[in-house]
Structure 1
Amino acid sequence: MTEMRRRSARSGGRAARVALRNAPLAENLRPVRAGLEGGQYKPLTDVQVQRLHGAALDALEQIGLSQAPASGIEIMTQAGAVLGDDGRIRFPRALVEDMLAKAARDITLCGRDPKHDLHLSGNKVHFGTAGAAVHVVDLETNTYRDSTTQDLHNAAKLTQALDNVHFFQRAMVCRDIADNLEMDLNTIYAACAGTTKHIGTSFSEPAHVAPGIALLHKIAGGEDAWRARPFVSNSNCFVVPPMKFAEESCQAMEACIHAGMPVLLLSAGQAGATAPAPIALAIVQAVAECLAGVVYVNALASGHPAVFGTWPFVSDLRTGAMSGGSAEQALLTSGCAQMHKFYGLPGGAAAGISDSKLPDMQAGWEQGITNVLAGLSGLNMVYEAAGMHASLLGFCLESLVLGDDILGQVLRCVRGIDVTEDNTSIEAMKAVCLGGPGHYLGSEQTLQLMQTEYIYPALGNRMSPKEWNEADRPMLIDQAIKRKNEILAKAQIQISPELDAAIRKDYNIYFH
């Protein structure tokens, strides 16, 4: 196949080169893909990592966490945690080390289609959505409106079509649904009907887990099929920083674990507000809280799949407002990724958030700098990587589409430079410089590598000013709107018609 492409390119000129560029590649030949190995960037030295680890263990032993539910107190104290007279649970170092030894490593988060499985080991990097925004950015009017179930479903359909967005965690709240149970069920179904990639969701109340799991059994084809390949994970804010358990979330987490659902142990303190202002100490608190989660989960079900979700955010200390697109956020996230590697645990954190209200130049630099540091640090799960605006308050479907381009460039940085015998040989230079054409355009090596070594933006404009004028000066946002509409027009529901009809008969589904 490769030799046929080479002959076609030599004989067909520009048309052949265009065809070559547009021809689909096998997954292993693509220049970027899910699960590329990062880890090149390490903001912390080994000594600093040990210092943060020691401080986190000190915090667990000396401060502990308060407000655990009665069930959690029983689970953790039976494992060796200590309940103090002040109601706080403290964690001896030996207990933490024992539970770290039992914790699941090298886990797989399943897609409903196995080709979308996420293998969380080492420094493998995956980008996806998250955020639970309460507004949608409407680019037709440049205003914010309440997000709906249809918006969530559309975001899932877009994610299905975007190669560089590898998973879909609930990106918006379905504000068109007043009943919380109906909202939770519609969130699950809108996501599953839109994409076969791995999905993350939350539950408003512990009692909603059972009906949510029952719906997932229907989608999976039965409980056994669900337990064999759970394709939805529970994003669980099991702590309320600083150093407090969230009682109802913990109860929901326990129910999810019993039901075989992977969990994201999510600690989302805000530096300078609910987490300490120093970047290092904000990481310490997040690590301590998530280590408490590791004890909790493994005392309940040893080796249950859990993502170490240190998500400390940044405050603009002048106002106290969140600043998700800042350089400090990029450092926080990459520092957390380094701690995940220290423990050898699958980890996730946030990047790609923009404080800008619209997909403009500010959004581009904020999404670019935070995502590239997250990817280079080898973060397994990069949440909120595309589409998020206004410091998580707004989600933009067009920005999700644009984010696919950004993430493609980020992944190319993660992949790095291939240094092999073939691509460092000077034979290609000899052929060009010694009696050759004096350039590499159209050379065999160039044609061979143009698809596998280079990535091309779907929307990013690389025209010359002359070409741009002749094309009637296309604007990036207009192109994003067009691509969004084209994807949604072609998108198919990812549930069989028979099952969809049965679910709509039994449940009040709010999207079409």
Structure 2
Amino acid sequence: MVGLKGGQLEILSQDEVYKIHQKTMEVLENVGVKVLEPNAFKILKDGGAEIDPKTNRVYLPEHMVKEALKKAPGEFTLHARNPKYDVKIEKKRVYFGPMIGRIYILDLETGKRRLTNLKDVENLCKVVDAMETYRLIHGGAVMPNIDGVPGRVTHVLGYIASVKNTSKVVKATARGTQRAKDCLKMAAILAGGEEELRKKPMIYTTVNPISPLQHATDMTEGLLEYAKMGQPVDFGVEIQAGATGPVTLAGVLVQQGAEILSGVTIAQLVNPGTPVFYGTCSTIMDMKRGHIALGAIEAGILNVASAQMARYYNLPCRGTAGDTESKLIDVQNGYERALNLLLASLAGVNYIFYPGTLESARTISLEQLVIDDEICGMIYRVLKGIKVDEETLAYDVIAKVGPGGHYLDQMHTLKYLMEEQYFPKISDRETRENWEKAGSKDLWQVAREKVREILKKHEPDPLDKEVEKQLIEYAKEVEKRESKG
């Protein structure tokens, strides 16, 4: 059931999509973007952009952007260590991928927030590996800090901890040339060499423009390295409406488009055909409190509109849903994440991350990963829709049972039961009496028990011993290099 198609929901008319596109092109050509990385600046200049060296401003004509879009693939496959988990990114097909690389975690024993350590990364990946609905992992290699790990080697140790504990697709960092090269080197080891990695991408990254309208040096350095290797790049714009972008959502879409498409242009000039995502983390700034609100309903609305804009450009869309402003597993947590996950899925966002997170993605929770797997499973049932044919219309069985009968003993019921109904894994459907006899457990308790069961019993596909050896040896090389400073 994983990877079903959405796209039934649209919030913009085709005329409105075109108006947003037109204004995006005007921003790129007349306002421009600031590109601080000198190689990318030169690449854009050589590619036909107007430049202002004094301000690092780059002005992209519409024809240049359109040429880049022609070269960017509308579909591609991210290859997993286990091929059964390969992710086929194509029009309106929906996948979920938790963002486990958070600085804080809710402790499984105490329920209190603390810093995330390397063992947590391993446990988080193991839980994601066991969950049916997840296919990608925003893994430990993207974490700026892992408690107890020197900051200069978090990317290598975080990557190894991730790939040892899941055979699904793992994301890595683009923050700086050397870190990007390290992650690509490790991915090449995993893939069986650089040539194999080029043929079958096994790693991807997110490049975050700095809103408004800037491409920072470190992220752009990483972009260049991933593009050279033909590995997918997600341009994850995170505008806060009213602060780092216009307060109007239409204005956010215009600025977001300019930031994404300028990045796409760089990628295609470096290596035509580089897979890219039209990515959004955009939402509002909560003006009462002065910080981002990723659980806001406006984030859900922007996901829907971003999916439409991505389809207009024939690009896959990466969206943000499954987060909350809540600090624990409560009612607010449930309605914020479920609403936005459903909106993004119905809109056909191809890759949705943030399941498992709390308080605007500052914190990750093992229990929340299990709960969100349930929500995502229900959403896949929605995307599956209703099959209408002669057998499912059920005229013959209705006629056979007739007035006053029942369907419990009908072969038609047995044949279609598992196909038609979603069977919850942790949601409670017991009578009150049975629920009380079982200990009156709330959802958090049930999810915690499920996590403990997974950590005790689940065995991810083992990493090839020679591959593991090479990864560890490379990590030691990086540690030695970085210790010299």
Q: Give the TM-score band, short-chain normalised.
A: over 0.9
SS in 2 for 1:314: strand
Residue correspondence of structure 1 range 187-202 to structure 2 within 5 A: 187-202=158-173
Matched, 1:483 2:413: no
Paired residue for 2:224, among 254, 257, 268? 254
- 8 Å CA contact 1:132, 1:392 repeated in 2: no
* Counterpart among 118, 130, 140 of residue 161 in structure 1: 130
Query: One-letter code of the match for 1:36?
Result: L
- Cα 1:320–1:420 shift into 2, 3 Å: farther
What SS class does the counterpart of residue 364 from structure 1 fall into? Answer: helix
2:423 paired with 1:452: no
The amino acid across from 1:225 in the alignment is E
Could you tell me how far apart the structure 1 residues matched to 2:248 and 2:390 are? Answer: 46
Structure 2 stretches of 5 or more lacking a match?
Answer: 480-485
| 2:410 aligned residue | 443
Q: 2:454 is matched by which residue type in structure 1?
A: I
1:110 equivalent in structure 2: 79
**Alignment partner, residue 235 of structure 1:** 206
With normalisation by structure 1, the TM-score equals: 0.88
| Aligned counterparts, 1:27-176, within 5 A | 33-84=1-52, 86-130=55-99, 132-170=101-139, 173=143, 174-176=145-147
Deviation of 1:506 (Å): 5.2
In structure 2, give the amino acid aligned to 1:279.
Answer: L
Instruction: Report the 3-state secondary structure (helix = DSSP H, G, I; strand = E; otherwise coil) of the residue aligned with 2:235.
Output: strand
Asked if residue 496 in structure 1 is aligned to residue 464 in structure 2, the reply is yes
Count residues in correspondence.
474
Q: Tell me which amino acid in the other structure corresponds to 2:398.
A: M
C-alpha separation between the residues in 2 aligned to 1:442 and 1:231?
Answer: 48
In structure 2, C-alpha distance between the alignment counterparts of 1:36 and 1:160, rounded to whole Å? 19
- 1:280 is the counterpart of 2:250: yes
C-alpha separation between the residues in 2 aligned to 1:98 and 1:220?
31
Deviations 1:437-484 (A, max 9, x none): 622233222211111111111100111112212323232211111111
Q: Which runs of 4+ in 1 moved over 4 A?
A: none
CA deviations on 1:341-366 (whole Å, 9 max, x unpaired) are: 11111110111111111122211111
Structure 1 residue 423 and structure 2 residue 392: aligned? Answer: yes
Structure 1: runs of 5+ lacking an equivalent: 1-32
Please give the alpha-carbon distance, in whole angstroms, between the structure 2 residues aligned to 1:379 and 1:212: 26
Between 1:269-278 and 1:130-139, the stretch displaced more is 130-139
Assess if the C-alpha contact under 8 Å between 1:253 and 1:263 holds in 2: yes
- 1:506/1:107 CA distance change after superposition, 3 Å: closer
2:483 is matched with: none
Partner of 1:205: 176
Which of 151, 158, 163 in structure 2 is aligned with 1:180?
151
Identity, in percent, stands at 27
- Take 1:474 and 1:442, find their aligned partners in 2: how far apart are those partners? 34
Instruction: Tell me the equivalent position of 1:316.
Output: 286
Contact kept? 1:287, 1:310, Cα under 8 Å:
no
- Counterpart CA distance in 2 for 1:471 and 1:45 is 51
Q: Which residue of structure 2 lines up, in the alignment, with residue 412 of structure 1?
A: 381
Bigger Cα displacement from structure 2, 396-405 vs 192-201 = 192-201
1:175-206 superposed Cα distances (whole Å, 9 cap, x missing partner) = 22453331010121111111111111214432
- Aligned CA RMSD, in angstroms, stands at 2.0
Residue 105 of structure 1 aligns to a residue in which SS? coil
TM-score (norm 2): 0.93
- In the alignment, is the contact (CA less than 8 A) between 2:74 and 2:90 conserved in 1? yes
Aligned residue number for residue 194 of structure 2: 223
Aligned ranges for residues 375-394 of structure 1 at < 5 Å? 375-384=345-354, 386-394=355-363
2:437 aligned with 1:470, yes or no? Answer: yes
Alpha-carbon distance in structure 1 between the residues aligned to 2:473 and 2:308: 48
List per-residue Cα deviations over 1:325-356 (Å, max 9, x = no partner): 12111101111111111111111011111111
200-209 or 344-353, which deviates more? 200-209
1:431 is paired with a residue whose SS is helix
Flag the 1:214–1:241 CA change in 2: closer, same or farther, 3 A: same
Output one character per residue of 1:369-390: Cα deviation in whole Å (capped at 9) or x when no partner. 0000000000111111x11001
Letter in 1 for 2:230: G
- Bigger mean CA offset, 223-232 vs 409-418: 223-232
